[in-house]
Amino acid sequence: MEQELSLRDVLGVLRRRAWIVLVVVFVAVALAALLSYVIMPPIYQASTSLIVNERQNVGKPVDGVDIGQIQTYRSLAVTYAKIITSRAVLQDTIDTLKLPETVKQLTGMTTVQVEGQTEIIGVSVKDKDAARAALIANTVASSFITQLPTLVNRVENVSVIDRAVPVTEQVSPRPLLNIAVALVAALLLGILLAFMVDYFDDTVKTPDDVKKFFGLRVLAVVPDMNAKEGRHGRAY
Amino acid sequence: MAEPTKTKTDSYGYGYGGYKGSRSPVAEAFRVLRTNLQFAAVDKEMKVILVTSASPNEGKSTVVQYLAQTISQTGKKVMALDADLINPTLHRRFNIPNQRGLSNLIVGDADSTVFTTLKDYPNLSVITTGPIPPNSSELLGSARMKHLMDRLREEYDVVIMDTPPILPVTDAVVASSLADGVILVVQAGKTRNGEVRHAQEVLEAAHANLLGAVLNRARRTAKDYYYSRTYGADGSEPAKPEEAPPES
């Protein structure tokens, strides 16, 4: 249509093509729910955290806070975080637990990060089995601790703060989030589709069309006789 | 006018006793059409009305049937003439045989015995097509056809012609020269803009008097504004059983 689109036209299109939007939204939400609840296996994540500090400090009287020392621990934490995902540590974990995974797969499952501006290292492992995720996380941590002296000359004390425990809440998939995203995306897609269908539909639809496009007089508008209200309803 | 107790219905479940006196939106739509046609002719007598459409199956015969019935209810003598010599359907709608009809009249081997007067509509007569000829447009353009139309003009107040669609065949354009006015039936949501425009051009080129369009099968969505304004229909109000046409 060459005419500019008024709000009334837009609403009219949406009303006329509401079924397209509804179908698209329904299909998308159903698909998202199916994916989230049935097809995609639930993934659980277990986390453990390690802290880096000096062995000698234990039991020694504290004579002031050494800023330089803390800085050292922080940069060490970053280095150690890299070491945790090294082949040596992960291979040790695989050997210990006799895991079927390769080092590469285990690297994909494991996330290591230094917690902000601290000397704390977080190790998270994702797996389909919550208990197994916790076991691997703990083993990665202990492998790291045992492997550390053979890998670096400086030996700092690395100790476990929190052992990983099985978490029963899955980290992915997140059904509600997926469904919400699908809903919004499908709504937009459906509306776009509705307008496209309307744009390519060049049939005469309303008495207005007859007047506007052809300058013809509309002698009568006959309602659909197959529709119930057309024949059995009351006109006035 | 007494409500007919007959339950004769066509294949559309809508018999010619169907909506007499009915207040249904369809019945009212045809009353509107009748009135509009009446006022379309202020300077010229509107005796022969040709009903056509751009493409097949847009509801020409339906409009012919109901319009003829509706006009006949005013007491005028109405003739419904099936000039669709290619794919005739009017006889089926009126539920009458089609052994002899228009084609016999044109070639001259029949007289007014082929006029069928309907039982339920005493003012309404029908001429069916008769055997389908191979040269329909030539027959419609013949002098004998013209004589027949002159005769019908004398005998009837209104003649309504059902014709083939405009775009595939030329019959309706040929027949339009016999008519005082042409109604173009447009099916909402089916007839394309280009088809209507083409049909309009063809009719204008033939100097047909295009009275206007009948928008058929208008849907609820189209009705929100027009349908309710034009007919005062409140779609949300359920049909009252006692208002339903007596068809079952």
Q: Do B215 and A234 touch (CB under 8 A)?
A: no
How does residue A70 score in pLDDT terms, banded at 50, 70 and 90?
confident
Nearest to B26 among A206, A217, A230 (CB): A230
pLDDT digits over B155-208, tens only? 999 999 999 999 999 999 999 999 999 999 999 888 999 999 999 999 999 999
| B233 contacts: CB under 8 Å, gap ≥ 6 | A223, A229, A233, A234, A235, A236, B25, B28, B223, B227
Q: Do A231 and B237 touch (CB under 8 A)?
A: no
The 3-state DSSP class for residue A157 equals strand
pLDDT digits over A5-55, tens only? 788 888 888 888 899 999 999 999 999 999 998 898 999 999 999 988 765
DSSP state of A148: H
Q: Do B218 and A15 touch (CB under 8 A)?
A: no
* Contacts with A, B 179-218, CB within 8 Å: 183-184, 186-194, 196-197, 200, 210-218
Residues of B within 8 A of A9 (CB-CB) are none
Q: Do A214 and B213 touch (CB under 8 A)?
A: yes
Residues of A within 8 A of B35 (CB-CB) are none
Residues of A within 8 A of B32 (CB-CB) are 219-221
- Rounded to the nearest angstrom, the gap between the alpha carbon of residue B207 and the centroid of all alpha carbons in its chain is 21
Q: Do B196 and A15 touch (CB under 8 A)?
A: no
Nearest to A223 among B12, B26, B210 (CB): B26
User: Following CA atoms A163, A164, A166, A171 in sequence, which dihedral angle do they give, to the nearest 10 degrees?
Assistant: 150
The question of ipTM being above 0.90 is answered as no
Q: Is the pLDDT of residue B230 over 60?
A: no
Phi/psi at B2 (nearest 5 deg)?
A: -70, 145
Residues of B within 8 A of A232 (CB-CB) are 24, 239, 243-245
Specify the length of chain A in residues.
236
DSSP state of A59: T
CB atoms near residue A71 (< 10 Å)? 11
Q: Is there a contact between B49 and B34 (Cβ–Cβ < 8 Å)? A: no
CA distance A216 to B181: 13
Closest CA in chain A for residue B222: A206
Cis ω on the peptide bond leading into residue B56 (within 30° of 0)?
no
Q: Do B211 and A217 touch (CB under 8 A)?
A: yes
Q: Do B214 and A230 touch (CB under 8 A)?
A: no
Give pLDDT, residue B103: 92
Q: Determine what percent of chain A is predicted with pLDDT higher than 90.
A: 38
Closest CA in chain A for residue B183: A219
Kindly list the distances between the CA atom of residue B248 and the CA atoms of A19, A162, B9, B95, in Å, as whole numbers in the listed order.
34, 81, 9, 17
What value does the mean pLDDT of chain B take?
81
Size of interface A-B (CB pairs under 8 A): 172
Computed over its alpha carbons, how large is the radius of gyration of chain B?
A: 18
B37 close to A (CB below 8 A): yes
Give pLDDT, residue A15: 87
Q: Is there a contact between B162 and B114 (Cβ–Cβ < 8 Å)? A: no
Q: Do B233 and A234 touch (CB under 8 A)?
A: yes
How does residue B15 score in pLDDT terms, banded at 50, 70 and 90?
very low
Q: Do B24 and A230 touch (CB under 8 A)?
A: yes
B233 close to A (CB below 8 A): yes
Q: In angstroms, what separates the C-alpha of B45 from chain A's closest C-alpha?
A: 17
Q: Is there a contact between A198 and A15 (Cβ–Cβ < 8 Å)? A: no
Assigned token pair, B197 = 């425009």
Q: Do A235 and B24 touch (CB under 8 A)?
A: yes
How does residue A154 score in pLDDT terms, banded at 50, 70 and 90?
low
Q: Is the pLDDT of residue B45 over 90?
A: no
Mean pLDDT of B54-79: 92
CA distance A86 to A123: 13
pTM: 0.66
Q: In angstroms, what separates the C-alpha of B189 from chain A's closest C-alpha?
A: 5
Q: Do A216 and B230 touch (CB under 8 A)?
A: no
Q: What angle do CA A81, A84, A90 make, to 5 degrees?
A: 160
